[in-house]
Amino acid sequence: MALSPTLPVIEWGQGEAIVFLHYFGGAAASWRWVAEQLQTTHRCIAVDLPGFGTAPALDHPSIQAYGAAVARTLAALNVQNYTLVGHSMGGKIALQIAADSEGNGLQQVILIAPSPPTQEPMPAEEKQRMLENHPSRDNAATTLDSATRKSLTAEQRSLAIATHVAPDDRTWRWWLLEGMNHAIADQMHRVTVPVTVLASHDDPVIPHDTVITDVIGRVPGAQQVSVQGLGHLMPLEDPDFVAGQIWQVLSNL
């Protein structure tokens, strides 16, 4: 079976690497406002995951195949030692990479409002809305408004809507029907690097209690950082806060 090509990335800065994996409906560009604050001291690498942004879709998507595609991309970029930051869907993929990471230079993982290694909860009517109305800018705006608790700037909102309508349709349906329900919890004992989890009490997409039970409770030694007043799209809603939390974790490594 032919392997997928390396994935498109956006890079900022130089130094030890931070690798960013975006949320479902996002893209590498979603990390711009966070990465710009960390680029003075680090090489920030944001990845377009398969089927999102400008990345081609996988013929046979799976959580493990996504992790392998990211690993191949980092090897091609000669990334030696790095911190992995995963948001929402990117969080589940980050945990898969961490479970498979022995000897590949991964130093630690930071998860932001992560999709859990168990099944991600989503009301049936919400899933149906997202399946039936893609791609649609109006539907994207509805999703964005329901997922956030803090207003985005006009530029952030425009980007978020554009990345939401861009994904490959097969990939979109795969995540909603299969990927988010694929449990990798039985692999979490293989995660040996430090894991920090940033979660909001006001996240309307992945409840804080779910993060506590299904992420903190499943990943050995995971450390919890909780916040209030932010929704699910924290890297867009408050990039200053998210960048500050990443910097604090990096400083304690």
Supply the pLDDT for residue 102: 74
Q: Other C-beta atoms within 10 Å of 235: how many?
A: 29
Which residues are CB-neighbours of 144 under 8 A, at least 6 positions away?
152, 157, 160, 161, 164, 233
Supply the pLDDT for residue 2: 38
So what's the architecture of 9-251 in CATH?
A: 3-Layer(aba) Sandwich (3.40)
In this prediction, the residues of the chain whose per-residue pLDDT falls under 50 are 1-3
Supply the pLDDT for residue 1: 32
Identify the burial level of 217 via C-beta atoms within 10 angstroms of its C-beta, where 0-12 means exposed, 13-18 middle and 19 or more buried: middle
Q: What is the pTM of this model?
A: 0.96
| C-alpha closest to that of 63 among 91, 23, 93 | 93
Supply the pLDDT for residue 183: 97
